[in-house]
Amino acid sequence: MKSLLGWIIRVTEFMAALLMAAMFATFILQITLRYSARTPWIADTFAWLDPSRYGWTLEFCLALWVWIIFFGNAFIVRRQDHVQFDVVYRWVSPTLRRAFLITTGALICGGLLISLEPTWAKFFVLRLKKTATLSGLLGDWVRMRDIYAIYIGFLIVAGLRFGWIAIDAWRYGAPEDRVGFDNEPTLR
């Protein structure tokens, strides 16, 4: 199980790195085009460098940014990587720490999973809306629903992760209070 989990973690990190690389390459393309358009001989010599053909780069960077944020938070960011106000959490007894984890894990899990239905209803409308400029790059089939689809995945995966935190705390207590705790999570 640990090797499967390690493999899944490596695959998701690789996918996030690919998204970052695509966004960086698109950003470099934007900069190159912005400054080459100011030089008349470059624009005249290389017609394919006409900036009006690259309006899609801004929307593509924004779509990649949405995917990086929600994909990364769903699959890569660990519990201990989040900003935590744990002054009280670390000060209280192990029993109360356990109760904190169970309560917050269950509430966040419930909130994320309950928001699935209204989010899906909004996605029903987004299936009709086209992107402003990505049609020129990816074709006419790309809809706003496709760009924001990762949010549905985020709601499901993050909800399940927080549910797992609550179940794990219910069964074994807070990770910090376990014998042999080495700050290495079993599930990100």
The tokens for 82 are 């989040």
- In a domain? residue 187: no
| C-alpha 105 chain-centroid distance | 19
- In a domain? residue 115: yes
> Does 138 score more than 90 pLDDT?
no
User: What are the φ and ψ backbone dihedral angles of 143, each rounded to 5 degrees?
Assistant: -120, 165
- In a domain? residue 139: yes
pTM of the predicted protein model? 0.81
- In a domain? residue 185: no
- In a domain? residue 188: no
- In a domain? residue 88: yes
The tokens for 147 are 């760009």
Q: Which residue has the higher pLDDT, 39 or 74?
A: 74
Q: Please tell me the predicted confidence (pLDDT) of residue 100.
A: 93
Mean pLDDT of the chain: 86
- In a domain? residue 33: yes
Print burial letters for 132-146: b (CB count within 10 Å at least 16), e (below 16).
eebeeeeeeebbbbb
Number of domains the chain is built from: 1
Task: Assign 147 to helix, strand or coil.
Answer: helix
* Mean per-residue pLDDT, 41-56: 75
Q: Please tell me the predicted confidence (pLDDT) of residue 88.
A: 87
pLDDT single digits (tens) 5-23: 889 889 999 999 999 999 9
Q: Which residue has the higher pLDDT, 134 or 147?
A: 147
Tokens 């402003």, residue?
132
Could you tell me what percent of the chain has a pLDDT over 70?
A: 94
Expressed as residue numbers, the domain containing 23 is 2-177
- In a domain? residue 73: yes
